[in-house]
Structure 1
């Protein structure tokens, strides 16, 4: 955009040259309509603008000017005041109403000052120029008007550009929100998948420890379930419930270092040397998980799950609240299952007798609150069961089906965890295993 021009310092020829320069640089041809009932006047105006770069047309009456405007609107109208039929004031008033963006300039004599004022009021004339006019004044007026038009056009262009940018930004924001939501959903699904695979891996590893057979088969899985249910009944945080569950699955990992002959004996029948060796499994279990940052809390629970509330436990002789709550829960769940499988006595106890033994240890061996919650949880009436699972053969399985509960091997090992989603490849492997082992597999599937 050119800077404003000092019209007082320019001759008529200079103004013509400046106007031509403006049109070339702006790449727009400004249109002028000159209206006067005297042909020599409009001819003079046409000659005046020659070489300016403006597109000039003429009309010798108001009606002719209106007809031209209806065919091709213009940017600027110079109109004489006194014309037969339709005066300049009437013409400019019609132009104001019908073509408000067209700038209007009145050419008038000194004797017409009253009519000129009326024309300015009714036609909203930009300015009036007296006859005989000064060429420099006419050219400067046209230049100022077109410069103002150019500024208005630029303002309109920038406003439209801003609206377009804002619209694009709004669409981008909407798209971005959708992309963020989609990505968040993907990450959430991935996180849930990793969590599920993490727990499944722990279950599988736990079963590998129990494949040594004997009375401990299935023990860790049952203890983990009891520990999680107790933690939930105590309204512990979700993370603490999971830690208790994982610690239940892994609490005997230290027993990998113990010989089979020692594990086959009930604890009361162990010799002093064997007892000392057996008691090391809690510390060994902690050490086995020490390198895993995510297992720090779990490893502490495992180390302390044989501590007693009265301080007579091992390996550290912790007392009361010094013992992690997860370890207090695990101690009760572990002992309860050990009593029923005969690991702590010569003969297995019934569930009722095992509960009685747990109750006797309240406040001495076990944390009193944990015992109260644990026993209440066991005695509480079972909730209404969900719809029973569909028991399907492998030939009936379809991708997308979900296991209703853990799929166990004949040795009690977890082959697939509950809530596992079946895939075509997994179904193929199950059928292959079924044929290889010559054992029909029946899977519990959610309805």
Structure 2
């Protein structure tokens, strides 16, 4: 059964992104069609996996939303076939099933882009579909530009060396194509980070105490990593790990989720500790998140070697994990998910310091204290510096950043102490204009002695 009625009036259906909704319950299909009506998409529907496969053989579809539990062919089986036969079609799983193993199976077999739980939030599901279609469009554009670049490279090799003017013209075209490809890659990267942030909010929707927790942990972890002068790639992996560090709790019952760790019974504590392993399983299909997944998996290890699950100690624990564990504990103490009651920031800070050398790496504790004190790490540095706010249009080559330069989305653009050159300033200004925003950098300046 198909239905093309939910298209934008006056628009050509061939030019619109096409969504296929698959469910054995007509009322669910009707609800989805009503939800997507007027959003600028062509919406098809099919009652069951076999009907959907038959439709896909005759109709080009950009995105499939499939229910998990259906007779004859469940969502995991259906999406696995879609992945093999129509790999460019984005796959979403709609499920009210709480079994984490079934969800992981669907992710692994169908390589789904996202799963959505019933009952869904209308705004969230529309946002997820829109982002998925935008990401797919960027990937198509990226492939087109890569093909264009490859073709132009071959043409360039075939040119007669005596035709210098023609070579120069082709070189200019190649440069423009490569710049467009880089822009497409940057947009794809930004979309990926945005998707991670949306994904990280799933847990926070389960309870008021969790609101903003992952973002605060990610921000604090990134600031400590910068204090420790880690490379920018590792800093970004630590930030992403902070956003996703509790995603393994997605299958927790409300009672377990709302019980402070200090008040858990032994069997609850055993189930709680397994959320890091569940997070690793959830993130396994995503190669881009492998480094962040490794950081998350070991977050219950202790610096003194008495942690869980492998009893790693000292430098054997990844530095990203040592940073994440402290940042997470500090925020959890204040929102009441770790201790019997909510602690004030100073009380939480005291417990962190008290755990130095046992639960926490002393060097990470020092970086944590510096984040809040503003004291430079190199106490022997006798020079005194201050900072000033500078708009992007007023930046000059040779200026040094006093703080991280962040996009409004929270993405780390440049780390503190980066020395700007004219090329980088141009990229900052271009980014500012393309996003319709105003960026302000904090520049390091020598204080008057």
Normalising by structure 2, what TM-score?
0.49
Normalising by structure 1, what TM-score?
0.49
Higher-Rg member (1/2):
1
